[in-house]
Amino acid sequence: MTASESSAGLPDDLAGNRELTTAQPGSARSEAESIGPDHSGTGPHRSYPCTMDRLSELLSGAASAVRRLYRGPSRPQPPGGRQDPLTASGAPAAHPPGAGASSPGRSGRDATVEIDPRDIGRVWMTYSPRTDGRPDPGEVVWTWVPYEENDGRGKDRPVLLVAVEQSGTLLGVQLTSKRHNGADFLPVGAGEWDGEHRPSWAKIDRIIRMHPGGMRREGTALPRREFTAVAAKLARRYSWTPITD
C-alpha cells in the first residue's frame, strides 16, 4: 500500500502527510508529532503521526458509522415489550397480561359486572362479528371478569359476546381452557383467544354485562356454528327474546 492510497478518505490534517511514519525510540523525529508540508503558507505544519494501527482504527470507525446510517433507528417497543393488541391484518399480535391495574372493565363507569340473566329485556343475538368500530355478537373480547365471590377481585379473561341490549351494553359469557362437563359448560373449540390454541368451553351459568369502552378487542371471533349453539342454549335457559328486525 502506498502513502497516497492509504490516505484516501482521511481528514485533511492526516492526508497531508504523504508518508506513514512510525517513530522509533531515540530517533530525531519525535514520537508525539512529525513535521509535514506547509499548506497555509505561514510556516511548518504540525500533525500527529499516522501509524498503521491508527489507520485501521479510523477505517473501522467509518465502516461502523456507515452501517448505522443504513440500518436506521431501532423501532421503540411498547412498555414491557408487549405489542399492540391488533395488527393491520386484524389478527391478534399478543395476548393481554393477567390481572393488571389497566385491564379494561375493572372499574369506573365502564366496569364489567355480573347480572341476573333472567332480568333483562329484549336483545339482539344475530351473529355479526366484524373488525369495525363496534363490538358485535360472535366476537371474543378481553375484559375484567369479577370472581364469583363478588368481593372486588377478578381477572382479565376472554369473553364471548352473545347479545346486545337496547341500551347499547353487551352481554357475554366467559371462556375457559379448563376441561369441564355438565350443563353449565359448552365446548366451543380452539381459537386465537388462547395463546396455546387449546380447546375452550363457554361458561353459561354466569352472564357478564360489558360496556364498549370496558373491553379490549383483538379481532377474534367464534365460528358461526359454535356461536349459534351457545346463543340457542342461553335463549332457552333464560327465556330471552331475541330481536330479529
- Reported as a single tens digit per residue, the pLDDT across 34-66 is 444 444 445 554 544 556 777 777 777 776 665
* pLDDT higher than threshold 90 for residue 27: no
| Least confidently predicted of 25-29, 153-157, 203-207 | 25-29
The pLDDT value given to residue 4 = 45
Q: Which residues pair with 113 in a beta bridge?
A: 209
- Which pLDDT tens digit goes with each residue over 159-191? 999 999 999 999 999 999 999 888 999 999 999
DSSP-derived pairing of the beta strands 34-36 and 113-115? unpaired
| Distance between CA atoms of residues 141 and 211, nearest Å | 12
Nearest Cα to Cα of residue 124 among 136, 133, 113: 136
The pLDDT value given to residue 65 = 60
**Rounded mean pLDDT of the chain?**
74
Which has the higher per-residue pLDDT, 28 or 233?
233
Give the residue range(s) of CATH 2.30.30.110 domains in the chain: 91-243
Domain range 91-243, CATH architecture: Roll (2.30)
**DSSP H or E stretch at residue 212:** none
First and final CA of the chain: distance in angstroms?
Answer: 87
Joined grid coordinates for residue 139: 366476537
The pLDDT value given to residue 63 = 64
Q: Is 174 helix (H, G, I), strand (E, B) or coil?
A: strand
